[in-house]
Structures are given as C-alpha cells and as structure tokens.
Structure 1
Amino acid sequence: MVTVSAPRVGTRHRWVVLGLGVAAQASFSAMFSGLPVTGVELRAGYGLSTGALGFVVGCLGLGVAAGDIVWGLLTDRFGDRRILLTGLVSTGALMAAMALAAAPADGPGTPVLAACLFVAGALGGSVNGSSGRAVMTWFADDRRGLAMSIRQTAIPAGGAVGVALLPPLAAASGFRAVYAVLTGFFLLSAAATARWLHEPETERTQRKRTSRSPLRNRDVWRVALASGLLTVPQFAVLAFTAVFLHDARHADAAIAAAVVLIAQIGGGAARIWTGRRSDRGADRRTAIRVIGLLTAVAMAAAAATAHAPLPLTVAALATAGLLANAWHGVAYTEIAVTAGADRAGTALGLEGTTVFGAAFVTPLVVPALLGATSWTAVWAFAAVAPLLAVPLTPAAVRASGRAPSSRAGSGR
C-alpha cells in the first residue's frame, strides 16, 4: 500500500480535493465506459462472439463489485489518500502491462482478457469509495450534494472522453494504443494525487468511529439496491447501443457514439442540477424515485421505437441514456450521509458493489435475452429495472431526522 506524508492544509483545500477526486474518477470512467463502447472492435480484434463480448465487458463491473466493499473498509481504516494512490498506481501499472502483452496481436484469448479486465475493475474501483470519502470529509452537509454530484459527473465526463477517444483509436491504432493512453490517464491522476491530496487535520489525528456500521443500516441497503437497479438501463445503453445500431439498424458507428455522448454529458448536467437542488432543501430520496420513474418511461419508449425510423430510435435511446445517468450524485450523497462521514467509505463501497454488480450482470442478461427474443425485449427489460427501484428507495425523511454524524464536515 502506498504511504504518504500529511502536511497541514487549510479548509480551502477542499476545492483542490474535489478537483483531484474528479480527475481520479474520470480516469477510471474513461476506462470503464470507453472500453465497452469499443465493442465492435473488441469483438473483431479478439475474435469474440456477442455472448463472449458481454462476458468480457461485464468483467470490468464484476471486478469493481468484488472489491468495492473491501476498498471502502480500507479507506475508513487507513484514509482516502493512501487508498486512492494505491488504486491509481496499481491500475496504471496493469494498463501498461496489457499494452505490452494483452493486445490482440499477443493472442491472449478470452479467459486472459476477461481476467485482465476483472483485475482492472477491482483495482480501479478503489477510486469510488476513496474519492467519495475525501469529498465527504472536506465538505459540510449543506454543500455535499453539489460537491458529490460534481465528483459523480466525472463518471459521464470521463466516460465521454473514453467514448470519443477509444473506439477511433482502437480502429486506427489497435488496443495497444488504447491501453497505453489509459495508462497515462491513471498515472497522471496518481501524480496529481500524490502532490496535492491531503486529509483534514482532524481526520489525520483522530480516526475514531462514531456511528454503527452502515452494513447494519436498512436504509443504506435500500439505497444501494435501488442504485443497482438503476444501473441496468444505464449500462444497457452504454454497452449495447453500438451493437444494436450496427447489427439491427445498420447505422454508422458515429451515430452510436453520439447517442452515448449525449447520455453521458446530459446525465452529468442533470447530476449537478439535482445535487445543487438537494443542498437547497430538495429531498434526495424523492429525487432518486422521480429519476427512476422517468428512466423507466424513457426506456419503454426506446423499446417501442426499436424499429421505428432511425431518428426516433436514436432520440429515444439518447433520452433514456441521459436519464439513466442522472441519479448518481443524489444517490451517492444520500448513502454517504445516511452512513455518516466517518463510515462513508464503507457505505460507498456497498454502493459500488451493487452498482457494478449490476454492470456485470446486465451484459450477461442482454445477449441471452436477445438470443431468445428481440431488441424490443432487451430495452423493455431495461425499463422494468428502474421501475422496481422506485418503491425500493427509502421514503423521504425530515431533515431533523438525520443522524448528527451525517452533518459533520471539515469546512464550509
């Protein structure tokens, strides 16, 4: 584990911490979102079937799901700085190794590629809890919604970079170049983290736990499980829009990239808007429910227009993808605040487990469902999941009902 020194810094440093959290999250998202969108190139370059493609891509999510609670517990124990550095450096090293020995020309085979992506997800997923906990410890409750939403916006922003950059790079220069670029993203983020990320003085000198484990909190589990369901349409659109438009609609790859970019960028803007509203008094749990319902309606429209004129199909998928990307800021803030700042790493780890577990299962279910039915059924399946998340999300609570520890912060 990377060890670091801890100089004294002021409360204004929280904005630097937020920026570093965004950079780290964006580096991971460029890999996590960008690689699936190279699905056509992955399938051709590595000689994969559509089912094998879904499995390989899903291994990224499985790796995150397998490691996130562990990373969260370690973050609460050792601090966000050490864990974030450890994850960024190790993921960058893995990407460098893949650039050297796991490109299609090296003939790694499906099991080796799947194992590499599983490990990439397990290591890279450390940024989820560690960067989120850093934001929690530096921002007070009346600013956490916006701060956490900005951090979560790094997911679609970094994903947009990956979506725009990696497919044409894979097509023009191959996957050796793809992995080399991702190596650069992770190592640059690690260098910035090592230089500028510091914990609040109170966090360094006193790591005591003032609240019960979030793993024993029913509302924490409900938010986490609802988030997993909301991930299904998000990842269905992310991973299979390119394949659907290529195979079923014979559309150009640029159209698929545009759909995903609209979903990512629009979803990021929606995250910031909902996060800011929550700081001004809007209830985060209600926001999660509303987004779930709207996502279900939009995905149902995508199913209904699967074989309509192409502009209608593209518009429906882009809208559904945008909404499916809009819930993260309020959900991640809510689960962290419910757990308390001193236990936020564990709660965010649980959130990552359900979210990325769904990201693993979805690419397995979609090819099987497609083989048995049609693309209409695939998009209908993606509509049912967020609908189920609506009643699962805990009911709104009065501000006075929140635990005192949820209001702890390092500065305003």
Structure 2
Amino acid sequence: MAMTMTIPARRFGPRHRWTVLAVGVGAQASFSAMFSGLPVTAVVMRADYRLSTAALGLVLGCLGLGTAVSDIVWGLLTDRFGDRRILLTGLVSTGALLLGMAAVAVPSAGAGTATLAACLLVAGALGGSVNGSSGRAVMTWFTDGQRGLAMSIRQTAIPAGGAVGVALLPVLATTWGFRPAYATLAAFCLLSALSVAWWLHAPDAPAAAAAPEPGPSPLRRWKVWRLALASGLLTVPQFAVLSFTAVFLHDARGVGGAVAAGVVLVAQLGGGAARIWTGRRTDRGADRRTCIRVIGLLTALAMAAAAVLTHAPLPLTAAALALGGLLANAWHGVAYTEIAVMAGADRAGAALGLEGTTIFAAAFVTPLAVPALLDAASWPAVWAFAALTPLLAAVLSPAPSARSVPAHHDPATEGHGRR
C-alpha cells in the first residue's frame, strides 16, 4: 500500500533526525490544535448546538477521555507495527473523521449532544495515536544525550499547536460555523500525514543509547507506573491554572479577561521555554528524575503561595498563579524522555502510551474536580489542592539512579549525534 512503502534510506543522512523531529512536532501540533482549540469555542458551541452547560462539559470532556482510554493501545501498536505506520493510520483516520464531522455533525445537519459527544470521543481516541508514535520516532533518531532536548522540543508542539487552534477556531466557528472549523482541523491532520509519508522512516542504525532497565514489559514495572502516575499528578496544577484562572479572577477578584490572558500567556510561553531549558540541561548531565522531583516541589510551593495570596494585592496573586502554571508546564519533555529510556526504544511506545494515559486522564478529571471542590469549599482550597498534587508527585516519582543520568556523547555515534 502506498502509505506504508519504504522510502530508500540512502536519501537520508544523519542530519535528517531534525527533519524527523519537525515531522513529530507537526503531528503533535495538529492534534493539539483540535484538543485545545475546540474547548475555546465553548460559548458558540453551546449556543449553536443548543446544549446545556452540563452537556457542554460532557461533550468537551470526551476529547480527553477518548485520548486517555486509547493511548496505551496506540503505544502497544506502535511497538508492534512501527511509529511511521501508526502515525499515518492515526492522522489519516482523524482527518477523515473531522471531514465527516464537517459534513454531518454540524448544527445545520441536526447534530445534538449524543452525536457530538460520540464524534469527539472518537476524535480523541484516534488523535491520541500521535503521542506515543511521534515520541518513539524521536527516540530512534536521537542519542540518549540529545533526547531530552529533542523530546522537549516535541512537547512544545502542544502549547504551540494549541495556540494555533485557539486563534483560528473561535473566529471560524463564530463567523462561518463549525463546518469550516472541522475542515481546517482535518486539513492540519492530512497535511501532517503527508509529511510523515514523505519524510519519516526508521534509520538504518538506530541512535545509540544506554541499555534499558532490565525486566518485563514496562506496563508490568512499578517504577514505570510511578513515573507515569507522578506525571498525572503534575498535570493537575497545569490544567487548574489554564482552565480556571479566568473564572477565579472574574468571580473572586472582579477582574476582566486581560489579566487572566496575561497569566495564561506567561504560563504557556514560559512553560514552553522551560521545557526546552530542562531538556537541554538534562542532556548535559543533570539527573532527569531529580529534575522532575525538583519541579514538583517548586510547583507545590508556587501553588501554595497562590492559595495563601488568594485575596492579596492582585499583582501578587497573578504572579503566583503564572509561576505555578509555568512550572507545571516545565517537566513534560524530561518525563517523556525518562519513561521512554526506562522502557528502551523497542518498547518505548507502550511506556509513552502509559504516560499519555495518566496525563490525559488528569486533564479529564481536573475540570470535573475543581468545580466540585469549589462548591464544597473555596478558591484557596482549590489552589491548595493544586499544590498538594505536585507535592505527591515529587514523593511518588522514582528515586534518582545512575540510569537516569544521560550518557555522554559517544564518538562512535558521531554520525547521529553531532550537535
């Protein structure tokens, strides 16, 4: 089949690893544009589809739920069939589904809560294929002393792609309706699939790396689960800040959207820069597991400060929330790298799928838990809860070991490893 044909390896030299990284970034960004962009159309979606607020929450939650329940399956399939084949399957099927939604799942076609929820559940499940497969592709092309930076760059595609979706989809939905919004997302996925088909293939000699930790499947190893669960806990303050800063500032402080946008912008852009910095630092010898623990502790301190400063002068409150959101965005690339290295390149898909499952499960649960906690207590309790989870993550994360320190550059791998 044309989609799975092998492009001759002689066309690709060692520097092609950066092209592979760009392809992975594009695939991740195309999914993130949908995952982050559609929720921003919530007001238009509620009006056009005639949804109740509760139904709207269910519909939007289905995106995260679909991703959470499918990520491990996609990871196992990636290990079995290869990252290229799974990326193509996921991107093409997601693009086809979005084209179908543009045709029959729009308000003018009579679509309602059940249709929209089912479509977004499937969209999340299909689109989640990019999480493990694009990460595994990066693993095979970069050495262990470069993977922190490479995986961190790949992870910046999440806020970057999300920013594109946030900028485009509300305008499209408000001005022309949901048909062009879904069609635009479909175009992103299909263009990414074309780039995968043309540029992504396995290297003749996979990049050298430290041997994986011995043992059974990563899904049967407690250390791997500990890191994945810690990552889920670290996701809670990230989504608490991103999802509820505007509501908090409006309801509790009487502030308009400009301050909230500033807080979220600092958290997103600063968090993206911090991901790259932490990835580069761990490539230069810093211990990845220690880095994750330190970020957890610092995030807990920042969110605890936000809880204490809930009714303090506004600049202090906003600064604490922005810092907490920034720190809660900083660990992704390091954690993805470490869990993949623990599993080994041949089984990285399963480990990355588990990582994605816990992260997207937290992304699904957090927007449900925060309103319930707010009803039972107060905003300081919400931010205190967002401080407790990263503290637990720091405790749960596996202890540092010599295995989590990146190997120094090996001259024998110079062909793949030139910096």
- After TM superposition, the score normalised by the length of structure 1 is 0.89
Structure 2 CA distance for partners of 1:86 and 1:400, relative to 1, 3 Å:
closer
Amino acid across the alignment from 1:99: A
Contact conserved, 1:80 with 1:134, CA < 8 A, in 2?
Answer: yes
2:229–2:358 CA contact under 8 A, matched in 1: yes
Give the match for residue 163 of structure 2.
Answer: 160
Q: CA deviation at 1:225?
A: 0.5
Matching residue of 2:193: 190
Q: CA deviation at 1:375?
A: 3.2
Instruction: State whether residues 230 and 389 of structure 1, in contact with CA within 8 Å, keep that contact through their aligned partners in structure 2.
Output: yes
Map 1:259-274; keep pairs closer than 5 Å.
259-274=263-278
Cα distance in structure 2, aligned partners of 1:171 and 1:224: 38
Shift of 1:367: 2.5
> Per the alignment, do residues 318 and 47 of structure 1 end up closer, same or farther by CA in structure 2, a change over 3 Å counting?
farther
**Once the two structures are superposed, what CA deviation does each residue of 1:333-369 show, in whole Å capped at 9, x if it has no partner?**
0000011111111110111111111111112212222
Q: Give the corresponding residue for 1:287.
A: 291
* Conservation of the 8 A alpha-carbon contact between 2:299 and 2:390: yes
What is the alpha-carbon distance in structure 1 between the residues aligned to residue 49 and residue 281 of structure 2? 46
Asked if structure 2 preserves the Cα contact closer than 8 Å seen for 1:55 and 1:363, the reply is no
**In the alignment, residue 371 of structure 2 is paired with which amino acid?**
P
* Code of the aligned partner of 1:14: R
Matched residues in 1 for 2:70 and 2:94: separation? 13
Q: Name the aligned partner's letter for residue 304 of structure 2.
A: A
Secondary structure at the residue paired with 1:140?
A: coil
Name the counterpart of 2:416. Answer: 411
Worse overlay, 221-230 or 32-41: 32-41
Partners in 2 of 1:304 and 1:39 — Cα distance? 31
> How many residue pairs are counted as aligned between the two chains?
403
Shift of 1:56: 2.5
Is contact 2:283–2:406 with CA below 8 Å preserved after alignment? no
Q: 1: CA distance between counterparts of 2:314 and 2:405?
A: 49
Give, as a single letter, the amino acid of the residue that structure 2 aligns with 1:4. M
Can you list the C-alpha shifts for 1:122-165, whole angstroms capped at 9, x where unaligned? 11110010000000011111111111111111112212222333
Q: Does 1:346 align with 2:350?
A: yes
How much has 1:120 moved relative to structure 2?
A: 1.2
Q: Aligned-pair distance for 1:168? A: 4.1
Deviation at 1:117, TM superposition (A): 1.6
CA offset at residue 64 of structure 1?
A: 1.0
Query: Is 2:286 the counterpart of 1:299?
Result: no
Is the CA contact 2:147–2:337 (under 8 Å) kept in the aligned structure 1?
yes
Q: Answer whether contact 1:163 1:260 (CA < 8 A) is retained.
A: no
Secondary structure at 2:161 match in 1: helix
Q: Secondary structure at the match of 1:411?
A: helix
Counting only pairs closer than 5 Å after superposition, residues 64-75 of structure 1 correspond to structure 2 as: 64-75=67-78
Structure 1 unmatched runs, 5+: 204-208
Call closer, same or farther: CA 1:233–1:189 in 2, change over 3 Å.
Answer: same
Query: Structure 1 stretch 177-186 or stretch 21-30: which is displaced more?
Result: 177-186
RMSD in angstroms over aligned alpha carbons?
Answer: 2.6
Query: Judging changes above 3 Å, is the alpha-carbon distance between structure 1 residues 379 and 169 closer, same or farther for their aligned structure 2 residues?
Result: farther
Q: What CA distance in whole angstroms lies between the structure 1 residues aligned with 2:247 and 2:50?
A: 15
Question: So what's the TM-score if we normalise by structure 2?
Answer: 0.88
2:209 corresponds to: none
Distance 1:194 1:401 in 2: 34
Q: Choose from 390, 394, 415 the match for 1:390.
A: 394
DSSP 3-state at the match of 2:285: coil
Q: Displacement, 1:76?
A: 0.7
Aligned-partner SS, 1:201:
coil
- What is the distance in 2 between the residues matched to 1:362 and 1:42? 21
Q: Which amino acid in the other structure matches residue 411 of structure 1?
A: H
Aligned residue among 137, 140, 149 for 2:140: 137
Between 349-358 and 50-59, the greater mean CA deviation after superposition = 50-59
What residue ranges of structure 2 are gaps of 5+ in the alignment? 207-211
AA of the residue aligned to 1:386: P
CA distance in 2, matches of 1:329, 1:135: 12
From the superposition, tell whether residues 234 and 104 of structure 1 become closer, same or farther in structure 2 (CA, over 3 Å): farther
Q: 1:233-267 CA distances to partner (integer Å, 9 max, x unpaired)? A: 11222233344445555544454444333222111
| Contact map agreement 2:282 2:405 (CA 8 A) in 1 | no
- Secondary structure, in 3 states, of the residue corresponding to 2:202? coil
| CA shift digits 1:105-134 (9 cap, x unpaired) | 444322322222211111111001000000
Q: Which amino acid aligns with 2:400?
A: A
Share of identical aligned residues, percent? 74
The alignment partner of 2:382 has SS state of helix
1:227 aligned partner = 231
Partner of 1:206: none
**Shift of the alpha carbon at 1:216?**
1.9
Taking a change above 3 Å as real, the CA distance of residues 174 and 312 of structure 1, as seen in their structure-2 partners, is farther
The reply to whether residue 25 of structure 1 matches residue 28 of structure 2 is yes
Trace 1:332-371 onto structure 2 (pairs within 5 A): 332-371=336-375
Q: Which moved more, 1:352-361 or 1:248-257?
A: 248-257
2:153 corresponding residue in structure 1 = 150
CA contact (8 A) 1:215 1:221 kept: yes
Aligned to 1:99: 102
Amino acid at match of 2:391: L
- How far off its partner does 1:320 sit? 1.8
Equivalents in 2 of 1:212, 1:402: separation in Å? 22
1:111 to 101, 114, 137: 114
